[in-house]
Every structure is written in C-alpha cells, then in structure tokens.
Amino acid sequence: MTKTTREVCSLEVSRRDMFKVAAGAVGAAAIVGLTGSEVLAQSRMAKTAAQYQASPRSGQTCGKCTNYIVASSTCKVIDGTVSANGWCSLFVAKA
C-alpha cells in the first residue's frame, strides 16, 4: 500500500465508525424516549389519591384547570381519563 492508499483506507474505516456511532445514538435516543414515556405514564397519581370526583367543587372543574388536556380528556398529573366537569385536590386554576 502506498501512503495515499492507507490514508483512503483509514478514511473509510473512520466513516464506517461514524455510521456505527450515529446508528447507536439513534437507537439510544429511541430507548431513552420510550423509557421517558413509561416513566411519565407511571408517575401520574391515582384518582383516589387525589380525591378525584366526577363533579365540580366550589366552582372548580378540570375544564378550568391548567393540568387538563382537552384533546384527550386526560390530566397531566392524574392517571386515566377525567371529566371536564370533574375536580380533584390538585386543581390549579388556568391563568
């Protein structure tokens, strides 16, 4: 091999290594994303622990709470679906 050939071979190996690193990084990101979702899902509180009820309390409702997710009728902090007319002890009024 001439010096030029060695340099080319070295460059090809380097590219291969870069692809391996890139593929590993994508795989690791996918794993971290999945784990993050699972952690988020498991970190929500049970309705009973938050004293959730399907009716308003003192004019406060899930629909008026900053934790309410309208599109899915879910809550950022309580597990499962919730009613827009429901309420729990973690109510936080929308600003």
- Return the residue of 1, 16, 52, 72 that touches ligand SF4, per CB under 6 A: 52
For residue 79, state whether it binds ligand SF4 (rule: CB under 6 A): no
In 3-state terms the chain splits into helix, strand, coil percentages (rounded to 5) of 50, 15, 35
Query: 1-10 long-range contacts, Cβ below 8 Å, gap at least 24?
Result: none
Q: Of these, 78, 79, 80, 94, which contacts ligand SF4 (CB under 6 A)?
A: 78
51, 89 contact by CB (below 8 A): yes
Q: Which stretch binds ligand SF4 (CB under 6 A): 3-11, 22-30, 32-40, 83-91?
A: 83-91
Q: Of the ranges 6-14, 16-24, 34-42, 72-80, which one interacts with ligand SF4 (CB under 6 A)?
A: 72-80
Q: CB of 50 within 8 A of CB of 82?
A: no
71 neighbors 65 (Cβ within 8 angstroms): no
One of 26, 37, 91, 93 touching ligand SF4 (CB under 6 A) = 91
User: From CA 77, how far away is CA 73, in angstroms rounded?
Assistant: 12
Residues at the site binding ligand SF4, with contacts judged by CB under 6 A? 50, 52, 62, 65, 67-68, 75, 77-78, 82, 86-88, 90-91
